[in-house]
Chains A and B, each alone.
Chain A
């Protein structure tokens, strides 16, 4: 079954810039998909529409059975509970510890403390940061901070994890660590969509790759068919 279905999607920003043109895309449950393309080609815009940070100007977008294009502002949280998002700049709260940052995502639902505790420790273990639970983000390396952000994004057990250049601020070795974590999460059944312009990573991972150009899909590489080229 398709987790994501986009049909005839257009996105024009208020300033008149059209970022996405008549785009069709389907993504299967459990997939790992890269979205690549040059700066300003519309990668972020595309995924922002998936987590309903932006609304499409026209077209149909279904994510996990929710009609995202028609979702009212007051109902966006229902979508957000089904997915996790990770950014280049981590977006951690510096006044909270690693544990509290991850727990934050569960506290807003009012889960009982014991349940929060259990889930947070489990996910910190998954990203290899159990021993840093009491540290503050500023005491961590970039790679560790990104793993905290990933932990926060998946602690709620979402079906979909969206990453916008999660390795953009990290060196090559650290980026590969992050990719390992993401691959692990994908193996546990979470669909992953990752925007990047690091073609090395993309080549190494051998996943489905969607190449965007000026708001259109230029090429859709099947799993393992992408080789260094194109951008």
Chain B
């Protein structure tokens, strides 16, 4: 009960102190807010990239077009070669006839034209559709397939997916560096704010010591002040994250750029991100104030 009263008094004092030095607090709060917005972007990007990378990986197929005049034996040889490849999940052979029938089914116009074709005239190529296990290896495997005799061309989404993944990966890496730098700056700023609070309350601290407040009791209000700064600083980023992500998700109908890039559903994702932001804000705030207290509140 007694500890509770002391704590509630300390929390009240921390809020008071934040508003007493408001211009100073505002600098820290803005810095936390900016940091956390970048953190939010980084988290959202990372999870979405990981998400669509896994989605894409599930459906990544290399299509190998065989020579038009390939024989049945030669096709067997190509198949043997494909079987030998590492890192492939499965493959499907589709003969000229399969493809022709499929196309004729899909459209009446195709149907009427194609029905006239003789076997030798058919310009379509038989294909092997090879699914790879890991998207990172898709380029290699495509090259290997291309090197097989009687394989004419190889296609696999023209590298778009790979490029996208690598672009998002580099954004992820850059934002990680930016986040670390921002966190350091923020911690420093908070530490400085608390330092000034400590100096402006020297007299109070002196009297607290004199009348027998324990060291923890003297230090806690300052640590709490950092915590309060962190919490206040995370309000705006949380609001932006929740409303911003939902808006983007709705605008693009959950898809970005192409059909294959599926955004993560907002719920509960945004709430988890919000919790992460508040937690990071609190930790950075406490870390900054803890440093200031350690350095400037020698008792």
Contact = CB atoms under 8 A, between A and B. Distances in A.
Interface in A107-126: 107-112
Interface stretch (B30-38, B53-61, B83-91, B211-219): B211-219
Given A107-B9, A109-B6, A77 B206 contact: no
Contacts, number: 58
Nearest to B213: A108
B275 interface: no
B118 interface: no
Given A73-B299, A93-B207, A108 B212 contact: yes
A91 B206 contact: yes
Contact of A77 (B2, B5, B203, B213): B213
Q: Could you say which of B4, B203, B212, B217 has the most chain A C-beta atoms within 10 Å of its C-beta?
A: B212
B215 A156 contact: no
Contacts of B214: 74, 77
B272 interface: no
A226 B9 CA distance: 49
B209 interface: yes
A77 B215 contact: yes
A156 B3 contact: no
B210 interface: yes
A112 B208 CA distance: 18
B215 A85 contact: no
A73 B215 contact: yes
Contact of B6 (A77, A79, A84, A110): A110
A127 interface: no
A104 interface: yes
Interface residues on B, range: 20 to 34
B136 interface: no
Given A91-B203, A91-B207, A110-B3, A74 B215 contact: yes
A115 to B, nearest CB: 11
A108 B6 contact: yes
A152 B214 CA distance: 17
A109 to B, nearest CB: 7
A80 B217 CA distance: 14
A207 B172 CA distance: 78
Nearest to B211: A105
B82 to A, nearest CB: 73
B204 interface: yes
Contact of A80 (B4, B6, B9, B210): B210
B128 to A, nearest CB: 75
Interface in A78-100: 78-81, 84-85, 91, 93
A110 B212 contact: no
B296 to A, nearest CB: 16
Given A91-B203, A93-B203, A110-B9, A77 B212 contact: yes
Given A76-B209, A85-B210, A108-B208, 11 more contacts: A73-B299, A74-B215, A77-B212, A80-B211, A81-B211, A93-B203, A107-B9, A108-B211, A108-B212, A109-B213, A152-B211
Interface of B: 2-6, 9, 203-204, 206-215, 217, 299
18 contacts: A51-B210, A73-B215, A73-B299, A74-B215, A77-B215, A80-B212, A81-B211, A84-B211, A104-B208, A105-B211, A105-B212, A108-B211, A108-B212, A110-B2, A110-B4, A110-B5, A110-B9, A156-B211
